[in-house]
Structure formats: C-alpha cells, structure tokens
Structure 1
Amino acid sequence: MKLLLLLVALGATAPAPSAPKARPANRHAPALSAATFFREHNLASLWRLNAESGQPLVLLGCMGTQYRRLELVYESVRRDAHNPQLYHVRGKSRERDRIMPFAGTIVLTTVKKVRVTAPPSGFRALAHYQATGRFRLREAPAEEGSGTLTGTLAMTFSRTAAGLVYMPGQSTEWDYPVPGEGTKFTCTWTSAAHPEPIQLVWATNFMDIADSVIERFRIGDRGVHINPKYARMGWSRYWENDEWWAEAEEPLL
C-alpha cells in the first residue's frame, strides 16, 4: 500500500515533458559545409511567412527589464545574389502604439545537422539542423527616437519533402507546451536619443520559449494563463488579429 501511495505522489508531481532533444548527427559523417548548405538552401521563408496561412509571420518578443511586449514583421527578406549567407531585410516593429520601420542585414555563419529524439507524431523530416548568425537592423532615421539593433540569432529547423520548415511544438497534459523549432533573435538597441541601451528578444516561436525568457510568464498548474503582473506591459492577451504593419489605404476621392 505504501508503495502504491508513493507511485501516485510521484506521478502527481512529475514535471512537464522536455523539448525534443537535438543531438549532433553521426560524428563519422562528413562535416557539413556552411557555404555549400546556404548556397543550396534559401532560408528567407522561415522568417517572413507563416507556413500555414502564407501571410506575413508576426514575431513576438519583449524588450527591457520590464519585458514590454514587442511585435515584429519582416516584410521583405531577400538573399544576396553574390553571397548566399547574407540576407537583406526590411520590416516594422511595434511596441504599444509605436510602429517603427527598419532595414538591415542578417548574416548566417554556421550550420550543423542534428538528430531529434522525439519529433511530434506525423511529422516527417529528412534532416534537422541548427544554425547561427548575426544581424544589424537600423530603424528609420527620420523617425523620432530611432536607433540600431545589433545582435545574434540561433535557429533550429527541418528539411522535409516540401522544403525547409519548423517542426511544430507539442501540447502536453500539463498545459505547458513542448517547444518546437524556430529562430530566436537576441540583440541590444542603442540610440543617440537614449543614454541607456535596451536588451530585446523576439522569436518565431516566442510563446513556446517565453517561460525561459520572462520570469514566471505563465502561471497555474492547469488552465495555464499569462501572469497578470505583465498585463500593463502589453501581455493582457496572446494575440491580436490586426494587420498593424499594413500601410493605410488612401481614401477614394
């Protein structure tokens, strides 16, 4: 009887399953050449488009020590014609009611093949990869308080018969998601108009990784919800279905 009670107690306190672990591919396999891989594969769609809807991909993130909500869209991602590891990007970010255009570059520097031990049921991949790089985005100089974002990115993605995609996350019985693949951008914002630099993080799968970025972002054992303390920082809702990045249409005369 004591053994049965012990097993029940252990089951009740078991943590949520961890994310599928990416392990290095066979060490005896030939080394993956970054130059060759990036020449053969264009990664632009992984940052620009929602794979399901084909619409612009809205990336969520946070800024500063108070974790103010940030949204960002890459409206244009173009691989350089002469350097396949260089991408020219253009887009907009939004923090509350402040919408800021930006333009800049992303440079991919490394890539390696990895193994995923527990992919979601039904997800079929030919290979899984990890890549890293750096980026520099300059906000529109004409905008008041504009600055420059300089940082690094880390990404995981899969190659399937349909092309390069992110392996989706998985839900669990504990209501905490098992993160899928995605790209995480980490940077510092600097501006001549502000004396102190500000740290920013945004990602294609931010809601999957938010708990590792924002302290006690989600609370509750079941029926998990966003911590109310972050409501005034813009986190009173998960999502807003408005195309804030779209240019306002000119009125018909």
Structure 2
Amino acid sequence: MKRTFYPILLAGLLTACQHPSEKVVVTSEPAAVLPTTVVSKATRPPVVVCDSAVSSAMPDSMAPAMRAFARQHDLSGVWQGLDEADSAGLQSPTVCDGFFGPDHYRIELVLQKITRDAADPLLYHVQGKDKYKRQVTPFTGTIRLRQLRSVPIKSFEYELQGEFARFYTALGEFSWREMGSKSAGVFKGQIGVDFQQKADSSLIATYFMGDDKRQFAKGWRMHFDGEWTSSLTGQRKQLLASANIEGIGSTVFSDFNVGERSFSINPKYAKLGWNELWENDEWWADSPKPSLSL
C-alpha cells in the first residue's frame, strides 16, 4: 500500500507546484503590432518549486500575441515608471503618492531597481522604499505580470511621437517585504502601468487617454491597489496609490481638491501628511545629493 501511495503523492505535489503562469487563458485582446517570436512551452525551463513570493490568486490572462510581446520585451523600466530621459540622459523612477490605512494617511512609494528573472520572463525582482510619517523603509520582493493589452489612444501629450508610438497597459501582482524596522510588514496587491513603445522600439511609462476602463493604471501612468500586513501583529491596512494624486485623491475624499483652475489640496487634510506634497527632498536617495547655494 505504501509503495503505491508515495508515487501518487509525489505526482500530486509536482502538479500543485507548477507555476500559475503556465495556465494560459486566451482572450480576444488585439494582437501586438510588432512581429514576435513565440517561445514554445517545450523550450521553457521546467518549474518544479512553487513561487511563494507571489500567490496564484490572480490567474494569468494574456492573449498569445501579448504573451509573446511580454517575453520579447523587458518591462523592468516600465514597472519603475521610467519616463523620457532628461537633458543629461538620465531617467528617474516615478514616486507615487497614496492613501494608507483607515485614516488614509499619506504614503509614498518608489521602485528603485527592478530586474527580470533570467529563467521566467514574466517575473520581476524588486527593490524599493516607502515613506510613511517621515519613516523611510526599504523593501524587496517581486512583481509577476498577469495581464497585458494594447490600447488605441484618443489623445496624447506628444502629438508627433503619438503618430509612431504604440500604447499598452499592464497589470502585475506584487509582493514586497519591508526590512530593517520593528514596524515592518508585507505589501501585497496589484500594480497597473500604462506605457508606450516609441518609434525606436524603446518602452517608457506615460500618461495617455485611451480607454480608462480598460487601462490598468486608469490613464494615470502607475496605480497601486493592495494591502499591508504587519509582520509583528498581523494588523492589516489598505493601500491605494498612484502617479496622479489629483485623480486618485478625489476617489478617496470628494473634497480633496479645492482648487478652481489648478490642483490645490484641502487644508483640512494637512494633518494626514498632505501639507508636505510639494517638498522635493528626494527621500529615496541612498545619499543626499549636493545642492547649489545662490
């Protein structure tokens, strides 16, 4: 009896530990414009060990052409929210603002370094930081790409580039563990990013108007929706953040913006950390950058 039971148990464990990304749900999403080469399932490295960093709660849902695009193109910079390079040729990750916990206190997030997994092109390894009530905490973890769509645009900030660019929206599942703090915890949830492929085939995160009901970042470049769990007490807090605080703020507080012609935060929310919105202290930098005194 034991000789029969153990092989069956082993086969069941191997089946349960197959990576969720191998389950493909074919949708009616439009095909990618660029020619791509589909990597056959037979050539993928075998996956036996379960990926405990990201749960399988959200199924992989990409059309075959979108999956091929995702395997052909590295989205590391897109997940960071990298935009056009500045005059010095440098790109900086997008710092997102958000609402944290039942009182919706301000929190800031930045993904400083992202690398694509060498064996699994849909898995990305993340290093970042968050700032909450003046405390800066580093975190590490993963993002797994779950959905990818191409999006026809209605309008775009850079008209000429828009004639040659192709636009996409991606949805990922994230799991990040904070480090070096007694109040550390684990962030889990979804990250959406809207991005474009320029005429030279490079990818950058960007704002554009297409179909915000189908855009995972809602046209706001980057969008986070998740939950934080304390590693010490198990306490849970909701997280909602975006690259566009004006857009996301009105979904939390109806009177968040009191400006008539320009964005202006209601003074009554200053006690929740929003009086510091315009401070540009680059809190995420590992060492302070020199400043010029005039």
| TM-score range for the pair, normalised by the shorter chain length | 0.7 to 0.9
Percent same amino acid at aligned positions?
A: 33
Question: More helix by proportion, 1 or 2?
Answer: 2
C-alpha deviation, 1:64, in angstroms: 1.5
Matched residues in 2 for 1:207 and 1:221: separation? 13
Partners of 1:166 and 1:245 in 2: how far apart? Answer: 20
> 1:230 Cα shift?
1.1
Counterpart mapping for 1:122-201 below 5 A: 122=159, 123-124=161-162, 125-140=164-179, 142-162=180-200, 163-168=202-207, 180-201=219-240
Which has more strand, going by share of residues? Answer: 1
Aligned length: 216
Q: Could you say which residue in structure 2 is the equivalent of 1:38?
A: 70
| Larger relative contact order (Cα-Cα within 8 Å, sequence gap ≥ 6) | 1
Post-superposition shift, 1:134? 0.5
Conserved? CA contact 1:47–1:57, under 8 Å: no
How far apart are the structure 2 equivalents of 1:91 and 1:26? 33
Amino acid at match of 2:97: L
Taking the TM superposition and a 5 Å limit, the aligned residue runs for 1:205-244 are: 205-244=244-283
User: How big is the shift at 1:195?
Assistant: 4.8
Q: Residue 76 of structure 1 aligns with which residue?
A: 113
Helix, strand or coil: the match of 1:240? coil
Deviations 1:155-177 (CA, angstroms, capped at 9, x unpaired): 2222111422234369xxxxxxx
Deviation at 1:58, TM superposition (A): 1.7
Report the residue type matching 1:117 in the other structure: K
What TM-score, normalized to structure 2? 0.65
Matched-pair contact (CA < 8 Å) for 1:69–1:233:
yes
Shift of 1:248: 4.2
Please name the residue that 2:242 is paired with: 203
Q: Which letter maps to 2:150?
A: K
2:284 to 226, 245, 251: 245
| Residue in structure 2 matched with residue 51 of structure 1 by the alignment | 84
**Root mean square deviation of aligned Cα:** 2.7
SS at match of 2:275: coil
- TM-score, length-scaled by structure 1: 0.74
Match of 1:103 among 137, 140, 144: 140
Determine if contact 2:83/2:204 at 8 Å carries over to the other structure. Answer: no
In structure 2, how many angstroms separate the alpha carbons of the residues matched to 1:37 and 1:237?
Answer: 40
* Inter-CA distance 119–80: structure 2 relative to 1 (3 Å threshold): same
Q: 1:64 aligns to what?
A: 101
- Which residue does the alignment assign to 2:291? none
Shift in alpha-carbon separation, 1:121–1:58, aligned structure 2, 3 A: closer
Structure 2, unpaired ranges of 5+: 1-27, 34-62, 210-217, 289-294
Deviations 1:18-47 (A, max 9, x none): xxxxxx9769x9x55343111111111123
Per the TM alignment, residue 66 of structure 1 is displaced from its structure 2 partner at its CA by 2.1
Is the contact between residue 155 and residue 208 of structure 2 (CA under 8 Å) also seen in structure 1?
Answer: no
